[in-house]
Chains A and B, each alone.
Chain A
């Protein structure tokens, strides 16, 4: 049957962009849980897991950020939610990078900064994803 599609809602987040964005949450959540496990058990393998999970989360954050920036530049409307979305993703990336360096420290030198940063980064990633999925349809493309 014929469907009348509103032009704006047709600009839903591009599927691959969506995959990248959604993929930021699991590794960052995993790093937070691993940090908690290390802090409570002193079992070194958990902090190794956390270091790799932060690195993995950074790959997806970096790519999603790049995509978001390109979208923003090409968008008609660069203010409001699309901008906030990109800024949130940028904050996730910057704090995630600092968290990577903190996780490069040896053994307990990662604590407590590593755990705190992992918690902040996962919250930022969730917020960015939330906003990304709910706002990108308004940023019309030329």
Chain B
């Protein structure tokens, strides 16, 4: 019996990792306290136990409204709101990294329990709300036969799609519900092994450059350093020629990219390494500096050396930039979107972050969408829960958030790749974009910040 086998395995693991103790609350913000590295005989694991939503719904802030605008998708990951309000959904499952060690066989089997078993969509689905009533009654397949599409960007009439092996584009005009033909390849993307297969995408405001996030080919170089050529970095791709250069490196798994309105600066959420303990290493949100090196694999959060990497590189460690903002270890941030005043006063200035949720931790963490408030263009304050309830108090997991997108008309679109749903959250007394309230002063999060949070 699969189930008894699994529970035996989990019991064995609980026994072997009991020395880890109960993990303390994780640390947020710009200067997180980093505990000592630790690793039991087996890594702590707590795999999601998927269950259907039934009559339940995710929890949103008081007065906010949430609806499922599309269900039964083929693993929705990232979404894009088009100028006319239509929503594109990238669906698919990528990665074909072979099992190299006995561990990979066992871990692959266990981790698959916490994800959907639906077939990979490998397509873009378009959702349309023709009359603006919040019901997306029209659903068409915009493009099909893609290879695990993930990152999406629309600029200068071109729709860019980051497949797991190539950056491609479609021409797009307003109102289109179907691509006119197969896409044109802009450039190939690194896809050998593809341990971390998702290719995040953002376009510069002028449309000249595209930024592609490429994850590492391992947790921490266990597939060899030669497998990490062109990995764990953000590429800057020339939209015209397809020529690329590394824009920033040492970013283990940059799973979502966004351009900050106003400054034009590139921001990213990055998933950090596992198996150093329940509160290491923090996944983070950061502005991405051109030419910057962010540590992976040699060090984390600046100059904290990772002893698992050989040969070491003290020069690279010395040059590593600490990221801007810790989201907490193992939350698995997969979505990033800058907010607008149309999202309501408390959530007007800042970013939404979709947290897929942990597996490498005995007490699960993440499984929600948080809002990180900004002041003067930088994070200021602890994260505020925006959408929760994906992980039920009964221990079941109903959904796992991935991509988040802000509709400038005043809505947050959240892709959920466990229940294969797209959620739409709207603020109270939703008003048309033209009547959006003026930019409010910095919101103050309700309650006191956690004690660890450094005063800014």
Contacts and interface: CB of A to CB of B under 8 A. Distances in A.
Interface in A37-75: 42-45, 47-48, 51-52, 55
A55 B103 CA distance: 10
Size bracket, chain A contacts: 20 to 34
B217 to A, nearest CB: 11
B21 interface: no
Interface stretch (B46-54, B175-183, B248-256, B305-313): B305-313
B310 A42 contact: yes
A109 B310 contact: no
A48 B310 contact: no
Interface stretch (B219-227, B288-296, B408-416, B447-455): B219-227
B433 to A, nearest CB: 48
A105 B309 contact: no
Contacts of B309: 107-108
Interface stretch (A18-26, A95-103, A133-141): A95-103
Contacts of A106: 218-222, 275, 308
A42 B313 CA distance: 14
A48 B103 contact: no
Max count, chain B CB within 10 A of own CB: residue among A51, A101, A109: A109
B101 A101 contact: no
Given A44-B223, A44-B224, A109 B102 contact: no
A98 B41 contact: yes
B16 interface: yes
Given A44-B224, A45-B224, A98-B41, A108 B310 contact: yes
Interface string A87-119: 000000000001011111111110000000000
B446 interface: no
Contacts of B308: 105-109
Interface string B37-73: 0010110000000000000000000000000000000
B100 A48 contact: yes
A48 B101 contact: yes
Chain B facing A: main interface SS: loop
Max count, chain B CB within 10 A of own CB: residue among A42, A55, A98, A106: A106
Contacts of A98: 41
Given A44-B221, A107-B221, A101 B41 contact: yes
Chain A facing B: main interface SS: helix
Contacts of A101: 16, 41-42
A43 B224 CA distance: 7
Given A101-B16, A105-B275, A108-B308, A44 B101 contact: no
A51 B221 contact: no
B310 A51 contact: no
Nearest to B221: A107
Contact of A102 (B41, B219, B310): B41
Interface string B397-428: 00000000000000000000000000000000
Given A44-B221, A101-B42, A102-B41, A107 B101 contact: no
27 contacts: A42-B310, A43-B224, A44-B221, A47-B222, A51-B101, A51-B102, A52-B101, A55-B102, A100-B102, A101-B16, A101-B41, A101-B42, A102-B41, A103-B103, A104-B102, A105-B39, A105-B308, A106-B218, A106-B220, A106-B308, A107-B220, A107-B222, A107-B309, A108-B308, A108-B309, A109-B220, A109-B307
Interface of A: 42-45, 47-48, 51-52, 55, 98, 100-109
Given A106-B222, A109-B308, 11 more contacts: A42-B311, A43-B224, A55-B102, A98-B41, A104-B103, A105-B39, A105-B308, A106-B220, A107-B220, A109-B220, A109-B275
